[in-house]
Amino acid sequence: MNTPIAGAPRRVVVGVSGATGTALAVRTLQLLGAAGVERHLVVSPAARRTAAYEMPDARLERDAEVVHSFRDIGASIASGSYPVDAMIVIPCSVKTLGAIAAGVSENLLVRAADVTLKERRRLVLCVRETPLHLGHLRAMVTATEIGAIIAPPMPAFYSMPESLDDVVDHIVARALSLIGVHVPGAPPWQGEPASAARTARDGAQSQAGSAGPAGSSLPESGRPSR
């Protein structure tokens, strides 16, 4: 159902809605910029309110090449004819999730998401709410059925985070990998140490006789390095 991604994106829309998690939006914009991606930003009024509360010093606009007004439903990204590779909504409120699932494009953020879906481009929704009622879950199902990827910003503990920044980085790196942006320093999990060693051994055996060292690039342990 989801469109395959054709390499690294060059232009991405970043939608920021009013769920908690301004730090996720800040980091997403920074990492996209570091990857050389052109960033189109749409921020909802509720997101600005949440940001003022959580991160008063956050300057989301500073980390975007193009900043669109939430109400500008005539902006470039409101049209499918404007070439964009993917869109990520981070964080995504359940209100915005519901509007996207229902196709109620009454603001630019939802319109751009709707366009992303109709053009069969990648749309990642980092939906943040807890607990979830059946309506939220149904909206997630509908959004998935029409082509979105639901990627809630959930921490992983196997990466042994030492700070909130580590948690944020891990969540954002996973979300960006869904649109083809691979963050340096966030390598894929290689398996637990025992299975990583097994994989290295198997690799060495299967490559025996062929040119080049086998398994030499595997990390000592399966723990992703940071």
Ligand X SMILES: Cc1cc2nc3c(=O)[nH]c(=O)nc-3n(C[C@H](O)[C@H](O)[C@H](O)COP(=O)(O)O)c2cc1C
Interface residues with ligand X (CB under 6 A) are 17-20, 44, 46-47, 49-50, 53, 93-96, 128-129
Minimum CB separation of residue 202 from ligand X in Å reads 44
Minimum CB separation of residue 70 from ligand X in Å reads 8
CB atoms within 10 A of CB 26: 22
- Closest to ligand X by CB, 3 vs 144, is 144
- CA 174 to centroid of chain Cα atoms: 6
- Closest to ligand X by CB, 96 vs 159, is 96
Q: How far is CA 15 from CA 48, 119, 197, 218, 221, in A?
A: 12, 17, 41, 37, 37
Minimum CB separation of residue 117 from ligand X in Å reads 17
Handedness of CA 56, 62, 63, 69 (dihedral sign): positive
Return the axis-axis angle of helices 164-177 and 22-34, rounded to nearest 10°: 60
Minimum CB separation of residue 50 from ligand X in Å reads 4
The span from the CA of 135 to the CA of 152, in Å, is 16
Q: How far is CA 210 from CA 176, 198, 201, 215, in A?
A: 36, 19, 15, 13
Q: Give me the half-sphere count of Cα atoms (radius 13 Å) on the Cβ side of residue 138.
A: 5
- Closest to ligand X by CB, 86 vs 94, is 94
- Closest to ligand X by CB, 99 vs 186, is 99
Minimum CB separation of residue 93 from ligand X in Å reads 3
Residue nearest ligand X by beta-carbon distance: 18
